[in-house]
Homo-oligomer: A and B are copies of this chain.
Amino acid sequence: MTNDDDTTPSASRTIAPETAVPPVLDLTQDVAALTAAIMDIESVSGNETVLADAVEAALRSLPHLEVTRNGDSVVARTSLGRAERVILAGHLDTVPLPTTPGSRGTVPSSWEGDVLYGRGATDMKGGVAVQLAIAATVPEPVKDVTFIFYDHEEVAAAKSGLGRLVRENRDLLDADFGILLEPTNGTVEGGCNGTIRFEATTRGLAAHSARAWMGENAIHAAAPILSRLAAYEPATVDVDGLDYRESMNAVKIHGGTAGNVIPDACVVEINYRFAPDKTPEQAEAHVRELLTGFDLVRTDSSAGARPGLTAPAAASFVAAVGREPLPKYGWTDVARLGEIGIPAVNFGPGDPLLAHSDNEHVAADAIRACLASLTRWLA
């Protein structure tokens, strides 16, 4: 689960211990115990090498998989000639360790009863453990499977290991459907809204406020922008059977330089979260229509992703999970898969609201239930 924004903190890099042999991961142990073992290998963004080595070694020991390493990403594929191929993907990195003394969301992990605490408990070591368990325990899945473990998800998009695979190993990524094992509380969350930002700037003419009529007030000129945004009624759009709730908001405003000067500029930053039935270009046209007459500069744009739940593989997966799918609102890497034509959903153990918190934790049974659903679908 990325920070989804320009507010993404840069990763703090720690130095990996020099190990001739990577830690050995037993992929056949209880999947919750496997999660704990993975969490104990610190893997803050930029420091994924030791974990990637361990994952690669474990997968190479499985004769039914073809394994490719790219940087600190690992791709493993079955080649059974099935009619369909699906992706199970997850990122290896975590956000930086908590700085609050005594925090439990750190490394190594710890148990409290049946609940596992530590950095990555929610985001997303449980999902990675489920991927590895499927790889080891379902050697002849009914669909061909491409397992993707990638680096640098929690930092700037340009560093993304999945993005690098798309650029350098595009052929390894062909699939009919994708599942990203990000935390969703065990519910299928399909696609995601897109996001686009603008700066709307009004201009005036500075003057001393004692002689205001010599100037033009740029803050007053912004009144219609705020009025239109306040009156705007965001749509809810059905896309492939899921209801995507949109929103349009002023997220920042600033104007004026001094208490005795008529302001000559005011800037309103606007964020439109749009359903995945629209391209970013269509979303931009919609905002420009709403704010006709104002100077708008686009500052940011990310396409959404359709859930693709109408595809046969997706439908059978939703049936195997047995719960009503929901739309995903925050931007995730399903959008990156969507861009290369692979419909994808989020499905993983853990509460997404705990991601990145100092209190990250996940129930062992949630991880086991996720594995059971995927096994039911693929075995």
Contacts and interface: CB of A to CB of B under 8 A. Distances in A.
Nearest to A263: B251
Q: For chain A, give the interface size range.
A: 35 or more
Closest 6 CB pairs of A and B: A252-B256, A212-B247, A223-B226, A220-B230, A5-B260, A219-B250
A249 B7 CA distance: 33
B300 A259 contact: yes
Nearest to A4: B260
Interface string A204-237: 0000111111000101111110110110001000
B220 A249 contact: yes
B253 A254 contact: yes
A6 B259 contact: yes
Given A212-B247, A253-B254, A259-B269, A226 B230 contact: no
Contacts of A108: none
Residue of A222, A249, A258, A263 contacting most chain B CB atoms (<10 Å): A249
A7 B258 contact: yes
Nearest to A272: B209
A94 interface: no
Contact of A251 (B4, B227, B254, B261): B261
A222 to B, nearest CB: 6
Contacts of A211: 247, 329-330
A306 interface: no
Contacts of A269: 256, 259
A271 interface: yes
A147 interface: no
A194 to B, nearest CB: 10
Nearest to A246: B212
A217 B251 CA distance: 8
A229 B255 CA distance: 15
Contacts of A160: none
Interface of A: 4-7, 193, 195, 197, 208-213, 217, 219-224, 226-227, 229-230, 234, 245, 247, 249-263, 266, 268-269, 271, 273, 300, 329-331
Contact of A230 (B221, B254, B255): B221
Contacts of A229: 217, 219-220, 223
Contacts of A259: 5-7, 197, 251-252, 269, 271, 300
B251 A210 contact: no
Contacts of A249: 209, 212, 217, 219-220, 262
A301 to B, nearest CB: 12
Contact of A227 (B197, B227, B245, B266): B227
18 contacts: A4-B208, A4-B260, A195-B209, A195-B210, A208-B330, A209-B249, A209-B273, A210-B273, A217-B230, A220-B250, A223-B227, A223-B230, A250-B263, A252-B263, A253-B254, A253-B255, A254-B254, A260-B271
Contacts of A224: 227
A253 B250 contact: no
A268 B330 CA distance: 31
Contacts of A5: 258-260
A250 to B, nearest CB: 4
